[in-house]
Structure 1
Amino acid sequence: MATGTQVVGACVVSWATWKLMGWILKKDPLANIRGPPSSSRLLGNIGDMISTRGWAYHKHLADEYGGLSRVNGFLGGSALYVYDPKALQHIIVKEQYIYDEPPSFILGNEVVFGKGLLATLGDHHKKQRKALNPVFSTTHMREMVPIFYGVVNKLEAAFQKEVQNGPITFDVLSWMTRTALELVGQSGLGYSFDPLTEDGKEHPFSISLKQLIPAAQKVNVFRFVVLPRVCKLGPAWLRRAAVNLLSTFWTDLRRVRDIIDVMWNTSVEIYESKKAALKEGDQALESHVGRGKDIISILLKANMAASEVDRLPDEELIGQISTLTFAGMDTTSNALARILYQLTQHPDVQEKLRQEITEAQTKHGRLDYNELMGLPYLDAVCRETLRMFPPVPMLSRMARKDMVLPMSRAIVGVDGKEMREVVVPKGTRFFISALASNRNPELWGPDSYEWKPERWLSPLPAALVNAKVPGVYSHLMTFLGGGRACIGFKFSELEMKLVLAVLIPKFRFALEENKEIFWQMGTIVTPIIDEKDGSLQPQLPLTVSAV
């Protein structure tokens, strides 16, 4: 006779088998949407899409299947790859609180950064943005210009020292990254991370930020499978003890833990310093880097004066520090590196840009905010680079309930019939392609895959304007749109233009002979050189000379 344990065991196995068979035999509601065949039983097409050399694959998806296609996800599940402008408008703006970030994204960001902008949803996210919006306004950006010049002039001095004995090749990406961090540090946090000298010692916070993405990618199983299931189990001290235990034998997890600890401890140190200075009064703030005009100091002041309903707790304010620093460092530094690289590929554009900036500086002296923003060719070079080469080429969303997704252009289903809308079941994962949207030839014209700054000096195509792409910046999806658009896009724009306005008149940039740069696709696009030893260290060696 079977024991009770055996009966229970048999029931569990039967239930699991029944659920598994139901999942296998269940009809895929997205099956009629065309898409590529699966490349892997485990990963589907995900491996191709996130490959560091996935550029051709993404172009294939756009060219072959149009603005909406079905891709295979983990273990045979279906997801949607989308860049149709009407579908994007629906996802990013109209129904943005239904199509939200997947839970794994939100939970992962909370663990890494704390409860900042990247780790909140819905009304919670809106409350944080309401508190932060004033410090990212155009008015505040104007006030940031002197701080920006103070940092970028140090970069200029470092470059002058590098080229004093003639043309020299060095890693420009490293300098762009250090500068981006120092700009965020001084104007965002009122804190200096880097003296921007050749022999300057790198701050542990800077090292941690650079190592975060490569390290996190090595523990994807923990991030996407384990974390969503255990992140709320038990008190915080117990979860920390579990991570410490796992870290004793899981080296990659230990590295991520240590990186997060450095980031959090530095954020707390900066926050407590600002809070103490505020209590002492304006005179104490004057002695700090940024003299109290930095983003965090202003945010803290406003938060103290806010109503109980609008006030953010300390934990969330601390969470903004590493969130804003991470978001502002890698993306902008890699965008700047890409602009400099493009200028080496197009010396005529580099010379034309140099002439425009030099003439403006001869007329006005040091350019203020309005003068920087009023340079048409500088603006065109920046916009075109952000169009062709978005630093973050793909983002994800998940439908929180069953929806009907409209499209601006009909697609032909597997059954041969046209569809102008598709039924999207709750839980459907979306891959939003900023890359494909920004290069869509139906909107940008037949030369959409060419880097042509001049396109911004004439009226943009009517098809593009009428499409109403929901990007917050220049019909582009580079900074996204809607309630989760990049809050710091004006900060990023100012940084790029001011760095170029200082460097381009003084230095000439060229690509070193026999060095092939490859732009590696990833969460953030980075330049690398395929070294003989197999290392793939992000770098952009350019030959720099004085003008």
Structure 2
Amino acid sequence: MALSQTNYCGMVIWLAFKDICLARPLSVLTTCIFVLILATLYLLRACRQTQRTTRIRGPQGTSLIFGLAKTVVDSNITNELYEPWAKEYGPVYKIPHALGKYRLMLWDQKAISHFYARDTSLYHHTPFNKIILPIAIGRGVMGADGESHRRQRKNINPTFNAAAVRSLSSIFQDVAHKAVIAWDAEIESNRGDDCAVIDVQQWMNHISLDNAGIGILSHDFGALDGNGSDVEHVLNAFSASVDPSNSLFILGQTFPSIMKLPWPRTKFSQKLHLTVGQICQEMLSRRRKEKETGGTDERDKSCLGLLLKAEESGETVGLTQREVLDEARILLLGAFETTAVSLTWAFIELGRNPDIQTKLRDECLEFGSTPSYDDLTNKLPYLNAVVNEVLRLHSPVVEVPRAVTEDDVIPLSEPLYTADGKFTDNIYIAKGTEVVIPLAALNRSVSMWGPDAKVFKPSRWFKEDEGTHGTGDMPHGYRHLMTFGNGARMCPGRLFALTQFKTVLFILVRHFMFEMADGAEVQIVKSLGLLPRPSVVGSTEAGCSVPLRVRRYEV
């Protein structure tokens, strides 16, 4: 039987006394007082939440200390657990976390719509994220709430609107063609063979970083030219270093202040913050000098130009200098990581599905010239379907956690059976309760997407493919996807990401054929990292996390 929060509190006190029993008397007294104060505050909060929150059912924890926290951080597992739990316990259920804490999982579409309508105003970042986000990426729009978020979001929206992204299309094309030249060189170097084995993950990192550098900072990192930069190294190392299953990481979500201590994880986050911040500051300083000397040209409409224009508006309606730096850092990080992961998954799925790959190539070849922004949006339906299906099946962001800042009543689209043995059409949650939207699991829900929800099937995006979707209510995000989120925090760079994604895929699939180097049936797992990155289990290619065999396509 799971321990109550009161019993957990008692256990914490007992462990604390056990650890200090050999200490000096004064240390013992001081520590006892500290522990009693901490335990009292924790108990009062726990009792208040227990008394005033609707009693929600949910799975039992597998650990007295960590609940299910070590289980649900692994997206390989949670995508398969969340929907069965929703069927068993109802469309809102609780998952036990560390030290008696729990999180509410929202699976009900009406509840999710309610959440997104109040995101940033009533639902704020969790205390853990409020500490860890500024350490790693600064205090820009991604970490802001309330009025600060609204002001910052209003100022960065023009950097990624349709007109701004349309002007970046040629950059994405140039970078993709540079990748074509590089892959040709790889094949040419294998004399006597008509193919080359590459690590597609590494190449998508190069492409994504060069696109983000030029498109956002007006700076070419030269990743495709083999010019390793400090930014590229720290980004790749940071993605590989994050382990959300680490005990300290999990306990930090219950007692977030411990993340301020100089742990290795915190030091690495600070290094990321500093390294990326330095290159962003350098580019901003260069642009400011150009503006001072009358260098006003089309670059004033670039991402940096628009951020600096917001800076000139003053901090009450625009952005402060610090915020401009933080926004540049966040936009670079977001554009790099999410797109690199999505492109990698695209080549995995096309390598595993040769018929789909051929159909996509035929459409791209038939189109002829390199498509414009508007062409990518309206004239390549199968390319759009493939991209949508990759984003559905492999959402880079797995879930969204928030903490409610005031007591709230969440409406439900269907009655919920509570732990009291009653039915209710709404639930009451107390201030401080943490709520989670499981983006990736919702994208793969059988009730919403049909019995083949976990199958890569681009045809589901065409009306003539009947029976593709289930009978459940569909999410209200982009194309019914949860991938970009929704509401006030819906991803501002989605047009940037989609246009880059489609351009790279269009150009590379026209020039090459590709297959998984270890066979179409090779097992793919998602690593535990900053974002879940795919990797091939037991790859025979040394140094390749996702080995792909590429051949030139000969007409």
TM-score by length of 1: 0.85
Aligned length: 515
How far 1:22 sits from its partner (Å)? 5.8
Q: How does 1:146-545 map to 2 (within 5 A)?
A: 146-164=170-188, 165=190, 166-197=194-225, 200-217=226-243, 220=249, 224=253, 228=257, 246=262, 251-282=264-295, 291-304=299-312, 306=313, 309-361=316-368, 365-374=369-378, 375-458=380-463, 467=473, 469-471=475-477, 473-513=478-518, 515-520=522-527, 522-531=529-538, 539-545=545-551
What's the C-alpha RMSD, in Å, of the aligned pairs?
3.2
Q: In structure 1, what residue type is equivalent to 2:249? A: N
Q: In structure 2, what residue type is equivalent to 1:318? A: L
Query: SS in structure 1 opposite 2:411?
Result: strand
CA contact (8 A) 1:470 1:480 kept: no
Query: SS in structure 1 opposite 2:451?
Result: coil
CA distance in 1, matches of 2:419, 2:40: 30
Query: SS in structure 2 opposite 1:91?
Result: helix
The corresponding residue for 1:235 is: none
CA distance in 1, matches of 2:282, 2:144: 23
Query: SS in structure 1 opposite 2:551?
Result: strand
In structure 2, relative to structure 1, the CA distance for the partners of 1:115 and 1:64 (3 Å cut) is same
> 1:177-228: per-residue Cα shift (whole Å, max 9, x none)?
111111111011101112513xx13110111122224445466379647764
How far 1:310 sits from its partner (Å)? 1.6
Query: SS in structure 1 opposite 2:514?
Result: strand
Q: In structure 2, what residue type is equivalent to 1:296? A: L
> 1:142-168: per-residue Cα shift (whole Å, max 9, x none)?
111112112111111111111234112
Query: SS in structure 2 opposite 1:391?
Result: coil
> 1:269-314: per-residue Cα shift (whole Å, max 9, x none)?
121112112222236x67xxxx55431123213542x366322111
> 1:37-79: per-residue Cα shift (whole Å, max 9, x none)?
1111221111111026424334543453342211101211221
In structure 2, relative to structure 1, the CA distance for the partners of 1:329 and 1:13 (3 Å cut) is closer
Q: In structure 1, what residue type is equivalent to 2:271? A: D
Q: Which moved more, 1:488-497 or 1:450-459?
A: 450-459
The corresponding residue for 1:119 is: 143
In structure 2, relative to structure 1, the CA distance for the partners of 1:18 and 1:507 (3 Å cut) is closer
User: What is the percentage of aligned positions where both structures have the same residue?
Assistant: 26
CA distance in 2, matches of 1:12, 1:46: 27
CA contact (8 A) 1:51 1:522 kept: no
CA distance in 1, matches of 2:57, 2:26: 50
In structure 2, relative to structure 1, the CA distance for the partners of 1:252 and 1:129 (3 Å cut) is closer
CA distance in 1, matches of 2:539, 2:450: 40
Gaps of at least 5 residues in structure 2 are 1-24
In structure 2, relative to structure 1, the CA distance for the partners of 1:65 and 1:10 (3 Å cut) is closer
CA distance in 2, matches of 1:370, 1:465: 33
Q: In structure 2, what residue type is equivalent to 1:316? A: E
CA contact (8 A) 1:215 1:256 kept: no
Query: SS in structure 2 opposite 1:355?
Result: helix
CA contact (8 A) 1:332 1:492 kept: yes
CA contact (8 A) 1:83 1:436 kept: no
CA contact (8 A) 2:527 2:534 kept: yes
Query: SS in structure 2 opposite 1:163?
Result: helix
TM-score by length of 2: 0.84
CA contact (8 A) 2:370 2:507 kept: no
CA contact (8 A) 1:465 1:475 kept: no
CA contact (8 A) 1:392 1:523 kept: no
How far 1:446 sits from its partner (Å)? 2.7
Q: In structure 2, what residue type is equivalent to 1:328? A: A
Q: Which moved more, 1:221-230 or 1:410-419?
A: 221-230
Query: SS in structure 2 opposite 1:32?
Result: coil
CA contact (8 A) 2:119 2:488 kept: no
In structure 2, relative to structure 1, the CA distance for the partners of 1:121 and 1:21 (3 Å cut) is closer
CA contact (8 A) 1:149 1:498 kept: yes
2:147 paired with 1:143: no
CA distance in 1, matches of 2:142, 2:535: 27
Query: SS in structure 2 opposite 1:69?
Result: strand
The corresponding residue for 1:236 is: none
CA distance in 2, matches of 1:174, 1:353: 23
CA contact (8 A) 2:180 2:508 kept: yes
How far 1:102 sits from its partner (Å)? 0.9
